[in-house]
């Protein structure tokens, strides 16, 4: 077997060379990368695809098991190395170092628990658990026996959980008695009980004891610790076809019910590991920490699969950045000598609001690489991250990708390719992005702005939406036939660097001018008294659309003056056309649980359509909606 290191770019020249190979002959390129993994049977052909159906198949006819690649194959050379480093919510509770060998044993045992409870290849298992090591064990155990995992973020409500269980007809639910988040204890089992009232496909529920709180157990509900005592230590991995389903992960669409994105075994394995090593430039001995939750794709690909496939040490954190204090992230970096730190701009902005002493009191000298994911990172946040966390010596990788893409699509490679603040920069090796105009023509050359599209398949592209292939086709392949359409706008600078400008549905045409709301927000956020803002378009008689900014201030004295300053600042920085017609000072912004602002709700408020705001129950802060409607000030 070849070593994957041979194909990791260590210099700009390497990147250029590998990139050229990957686009001039994708099949022979990906075949080489795939050969660095353990396959039970080699593929017959590398790729077959059809954008019209749409259908994508990678490593066709190949047989493998991804858990064998994450665990078994590391037993020879790194059995005692830490695979998962667990940091609990409470800093007084001991952290845990779980070696590759121990993780292997725990996964084998739990695989046998699943089998004992009648779970077979192809069955769907819903996982609704806190960020504890057993969550990773559960994910890998499903993968080991060929069951399809559907992880639901443990912050979701019972309604959201039930909808996801029912959509994919899960046979089993894995959950816990409760979960610790900051100074709160969440009654996870109670929420699950509520959900299960409306689900009839679940045969068995297995409950992990985490908080020790009292829970009700029905006859088909079993304790994790009891089940584990009944099984053997060994479990052979089930042979899977490269195109067999590995997992379903739900993502919200612009409207309607959540989309169950389906990922398959072979391509996802090859792509997540390859991008992990290239983007983060992980080396043996490094301690890598992605602060996401495994309930999101970032956690699937870059806490569990990418790092473990690569034999890395991956940190799992159970808690929140504000508990017990706003220095928790930095204290963890110090405690575990974190080398790679990967987080979201929303966390960076939130932490940057607090006194810098929180950062300065922690030793961050172990850090080598910083990462950002999930939304465009604005200049202020980028600079704060670079100056205060990276001390101007850590490359920052701004990674653009999606639940649907499975892995990172645009990013610099840490310390290898050029970085540029607020730019995701270059395509990953193997990725062929283009910009299109609204008619779908490719914009050739640099210094352009348009919608982003990908014109050639990559191994970890989602294969379908579970149970709804038509929707898959309509959302991603119909607007611009022959391309994958992610729904983001982008620009490209004179050197070919990409900058994501935001969702294309966030572009507002004002008096015939095309305005991205993200750059306007950047300007507003640069005002020293602004904590956060969101700009949306609303219908306007004369201009077609006008802009309304929802702004959170650090200090609400002198609102009127500040509002004028903001208007002048926007006018000066972008142009008078970008000046919001209305600036509304608000106490908070409606956010999804992953930290994204729900602009749909703001648009309804702005167009006075408050009767049709719809379901706000899955918001992180549903109470804020009423506060905005009744309690905020317009200028």
For ligand WT7, the binding residues (CB under 6 A) are 251, 296-298, 372-376, 398-403, 424, 486-488, 500, 503, 594
What's the CA gap between 618 and 111, in Å, rounded?
A: 32
The residue among 299 and 537 lying less far from ligand WT7, judged by its C-beta, is 299
Task: Quote the least distance from Cβ 403 to ligand WT7, whole Å.
Answer: 3
The residue among 86 and 498 lying less far from ligand WT7, judged by its C-beta, is 498
β-strands 488-492, 433-436 pairing: unpaired
Task: Quote the least distance from Cβ 164 to ligand WT7, whole Å.
Answer: 15
The residue among 15 and 296 lying less far from ligand WT7, judged by its C-beta, is 296
CB 158, CB 195: distance < 8 Å: yes
3-state secondary structure of 472: helix
What's the CA gap between 518 and 515, in Å, rounded?
A: 9
The residue among 122 and 253 lying less far from ligand WT7, judged by its C-beta, is 253
| HSE-up (13 A, CA, CB side) for residue 130 | 28
Which value, in Å, is the radius of gyration of the alpha carbons in the chain?
24
Task: Quote the least distance from Cβ 602 to ligand WT7, whole Å.
Answer: 17
The residue among 243 and 506 lying less far from ligand WT7, judged by its C-beta, is 506
Q: Is residue 58 within a helix (H) or strand (E), and if so which, with residue range?
A: strand 55-60
The residue among 289 and 401 lying less far from ligand WT7, judged by its C-beta, is 401
Task: Quote the least distance from Cβ 398 to ligand WT7, whole Å.
Answer: 5
Task: Quote the least distance from Cβ 619 to ligand WT7, whole Å.
Answer: 15
Compute the Cα dihedral for 343, 86, 170, 466 and give only its sign.
Answer: positive
The residue among 227 and 488 lying less far from ligand WT7, judged by its C-beta, is 488
DSSP state of 454: E
The residue among 193 and 398 lying less far from ligand WT7, judged by its C-beta, is 398
Hey, how many other C-beta atoms are within 10 angstroms of the C-beta on 6? 9
Determine the distance from the C-alpha atom of residue 607 to the mean position of all C-alpha atoms in its chain, rounded to a whole number.
31
Compute the Cα dihedral for 601, 461, 473, 161 and give only its sign.
Answer: negative
Residue nearest to ligand WT7 (CB): 403
The residue among 39 and 296 lying less far from ligand WT7, judged by its C-beta, is 296
Q: What angle do CA 258, 263, 269 make, to 5 degrees?
A: 145
What's the CA gap between 363 and 359, in Å, rounded?
A: 8
Cβ neighbors of 530 (< 8 A, separation 6 or more) are 524, 551, 552, 553, 554, 562, 566
The residue among 266 and 374 lying less far from ligand WT7, judged by its C-beta, is 374
DSSP state of 409: -
Task: Quote the least distance from Cβ 48 to ligand WT7, whole Å.
Answer: 26
What's the CA gap between 464 and 479, in Å, rounded?
A: 17
Task: Quote the least distance from Cβ 411 to ligand WT7, whole Å.
Answer: 8
Task: Quote the least distance from Cβ 482 to ligand WT7, whole Å.
Answer: 20
Task: Quote the least distance from Cβ 29 to ligand WT7, whole Å.
Answer: 24
Task: Quote the least distance from Cβ 221 to ligand WT7, whole Å.
Answer: 31
User: 118 to each of 148, 171, 200, 635, how far by Cα in Å?
Assistant: 14, 9, 16, 62
Task: Kindly state the tokens that stand for 603.
Answer: 């648009």
What's the CA gap between 599 and 607, in Å, rounded?
A: 12
Task: Quote the least distance from Cβ 419 to ligand WT7, whole Å.
Answer: 12
The residue among 318 and 404 lying less far from ligand WT7, judged by its C-beta, is 404
What's the CA gap between 119 and 97, in Å, rounded?
A: 29
CB 264, CB 468: distance < 8 Å: no
């Amino acid at each position: 077997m070849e070593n994957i290191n041979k194909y990791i770019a260590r210099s700009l020249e390497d990147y250029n060379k590998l990139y050229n190979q990957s686009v001039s002959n994708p099949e022979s390129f990906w075949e080489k990368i795939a050969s660095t993994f353990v396959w039970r049977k080699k593929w017959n052909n590398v790729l077959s695809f059809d954008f019209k159906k749409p259908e994508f198949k990678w490593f066709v006819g190949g047989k493998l098991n991804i858990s064998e690649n994450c665990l078994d194959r590391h037993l020879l050379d790194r059995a005692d190395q830490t695979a998962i480093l667990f940091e609990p919510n409470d800093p007084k509770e001991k952290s845990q170092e779980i070696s590759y060998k121990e993780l292997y044993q725990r996964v084998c045992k739990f695989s046998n628990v699943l089998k004992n409870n009648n779970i077979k290849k192809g069955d769907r298992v819903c996982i609704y658990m806190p960020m504890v090591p057993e969550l990773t064990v559960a994910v890998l155990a499903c993968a080991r026996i060929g069951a399809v995992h559907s992880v639901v973020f443990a912050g979701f409500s019972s309604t959201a959980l039930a909808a996801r269980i029912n959509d994919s007809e899960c046979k089993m639910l894995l959950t816990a008695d409760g979960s610790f988040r900051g100074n709160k204890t969440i009654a996870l089992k109670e929420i699950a009980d509520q959900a299960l009232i409306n689900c009839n496909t679940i045969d068995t529920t297995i409950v992990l004891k985490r908080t020790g709180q009292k829970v009700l157990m029905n006859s088909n509900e079993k304790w994790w610790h009891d089940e584990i005592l009944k099984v053997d230590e060994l479990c052979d991995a089930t042979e899977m076809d490269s195109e067999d389903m590995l997992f379903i992960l739900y993502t919200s669409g612009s409207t309607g019910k959540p989309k169950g994105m389906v990922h398959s075994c072979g391509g996802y394995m090859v792509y997540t590991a390859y991008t992990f090593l290239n983007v983060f430039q992980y080396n043996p001995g490094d301690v890598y920490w992605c602060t996401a939750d495994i309930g999101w794709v970032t956690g699937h690909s870059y806490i569990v699969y990418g790092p473990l496939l690569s034999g890395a040490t991956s940190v799992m954190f159970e808690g929140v950045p504000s508990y017990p204090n706003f220095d928790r992230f930095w204290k963890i970096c110090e405690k575990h000598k974190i080398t790679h730190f990967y987080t979201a701009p929303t966390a960076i902005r939130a932490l940057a609001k607090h006194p810098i002493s929180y950062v300065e009191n922690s030793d961050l000298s172990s850090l080598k690489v910083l990462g950002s994911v999930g939304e465009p990172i604005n200049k202020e946040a980028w600079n704060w991250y670079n100056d205060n966390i990276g001390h101007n010596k850590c490359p920052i990788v701004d990674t653009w990708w999606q639940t649907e893409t499975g892995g990172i699509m645009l990013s610099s490679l840490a310390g290898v390719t050029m970085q540029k603040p607020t730019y995701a920069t270059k395509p990953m090796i193997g990725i062929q992005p283009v910009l299109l105009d609204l008619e779908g023509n490719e914009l050739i050359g640099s210094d352009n702005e348009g919608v982003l599209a990908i014109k050639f398949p990559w191994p970890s592209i989602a294969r379908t939406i579970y149970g709804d292939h038509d929707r898959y086709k309509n959302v991603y392949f119909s607007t611009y036939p022959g391309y994958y359409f992610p729904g983001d706008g982008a620009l490209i600078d004179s050197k070919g660097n990409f900058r994501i400008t935001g969702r294309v549905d966030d572009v507002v045409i004002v008096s015939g001018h095309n305005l991205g709301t993200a750059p306007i927000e950047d300007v507003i956020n640069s005002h020293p008294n602004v904590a956060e803002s969101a700009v949306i378009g609303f219908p306007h008689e004369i201009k077609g659309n006008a802009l309304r900014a929802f702004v959170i201030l650090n200090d609400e004295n002198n609102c009127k003056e500040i509002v004028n300053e903001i208007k002048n600042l926007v006018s000066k920085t972008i142009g008078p056309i970008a000046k919001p017609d209305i600036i509304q000072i608000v106490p908070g912004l409606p956010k999804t649980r992953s930290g994204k602002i729900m602009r749909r709700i703001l648009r309804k408020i702005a167009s006075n359509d408050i009767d049709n705001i719809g379901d706000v129950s899955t918001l992180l802060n549903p109470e804020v909606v009423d506060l905005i409607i009744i309690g905020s000030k317009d200028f």
